[in-house]
Amino acid sequence: MRTLVTGGCGFVGTNLVPLLLERGADVRILDNFSIAGPDRVANAGVEVLEGDVRDPDAVRRAMDGVEAVIHLAAFGNVVDSIAEPHDNFDVNARGTLVVLDGAARAGVRRFVFASTGGALIGDASPPVDEHSVPRPISPYGASKLAGEGYCHAYRGSYGLETVALRFANVYGPRSEHKKGAVTAFIKRALGGEPLIIYGDGSASRDFLYVEDLCRGIVAGLLEPAADGVIHLASERETAMVELARLIVDISGAEVPIEHEAPRRGEVERNFAMARRASELLGFQATVSLEEGLARTVEWFRHNGV
């Protein structure tokens, strides 16, 4: 089917597009190039349109002839959203509404929304799942919850097939522009700099390799029974200090691990159960954290970023 990928020049998009093409999809990308340019998909054989998801005219042009949408475009992360809550809302909440509305008006059949797990649910005793009550403690989490709400509303009001996939903390190759612990740790380790942990290192996350995530996204796109919200997760809780030590060992770097004060708005402990993803999508994370980190470190080392 002809599929529009918003934010397709970013980290997840550039890993996802080749998989869609392998499945025979006719792919179009809408991206404002704020993070990365079209050169990242130059040889992929896809149509790339420059435009912002907040621009109804750009969205309308991008929707022409489209049967499905994978909405990846988003603003920043937890830390960015605390610094710029209005910008975060504008892209993640209003932008999602504009894309949903454009899809409904264009007669799009299927809409996959890239949501988040930990930031949306907030501080809750892990493991979390689709029954956990969302209580976001950052503007980023709140904006993704708003997006989920609009997805549900457009399904009910306009018959648009929507599903919100709650991503775990995604990592892997082509993530040089991503703001997150894995990217920061690898860059610092390969650069011979100390790894910085905010807090005592006990804070935990669910790290999911991008190849596994993309398989889950494609399954969510193709499975009509997939609706509501679905967690895509590794189901493994990893403390930040463990992550740092793994990256130091895998990279072979001789660098210290240092600690700074915790940052506001970040969840303490988080990992999710992917039971619903397994039942509906046949999803299961297959790449271990150790193997995924080894592949990612090698990609960074080979590409010199």
Residue range 82-112, pLDDT digits in tens: 999 999 999 999 999 999 999 999 999 999 9
pLDDT of 43 over the 80 cut: no
SS3 103: helix
pLDDT value of position 150: 98
Cis peptide before 127 (omega within 30 of 0): yes
pLDDT of 123 over the 80 cut: yes
Distance CA 302, CA 89 (A): 37
Contact 29, 92 (CB under 8 A): no
pLDDT band with cut points at 50, 70 and 90 for residue 76: confident
Residue 73 CA to its chain's centroid (Å): 9
Domain ranges of the chain: 2-171+207-235+274-281, 181-204+236-272+289-303
What class is the 2-171+207-235+274-281 domain?
alpha beta
Q: What is the DSSP letter of 40?
A: G
What single-letter amino acid sits at 165? L
* pLDDT, average across residues 185-195: 97
Contact 120, 166 (CB under 8 A): yes
pLDDT digits (tens, 9 = 90+) for 141-160: 999 999 999 999 999 999 99
- Alpha-helical runs (H) found in 111-231: 118-121, 139-158, 181-190, 210-222
| Domain range 181-204+236-272+289-303, CATH architecture | Alpha-Beta Complex (3.90)
* pLDDT, average across residues 47-56: 97
Residue 141 CA to its chain's centroid (Å): 12
Domains 2-171+207-235+274-281 and 181-204+236-272+289-303 share a fold: no
Q: What percent of the chain is modeled with pLDDT above 90?
A: 91
Single out the residue of 44, 51, 14, 61 nearest to residue 214, CA to CA: 14
In the residue annotation, 209 being an active-site residue is answered as: no
Which of the residues 140, 150, 154, 171 is marked catalytic?
140
Contact 244, 257 (CB under 8 A): yes
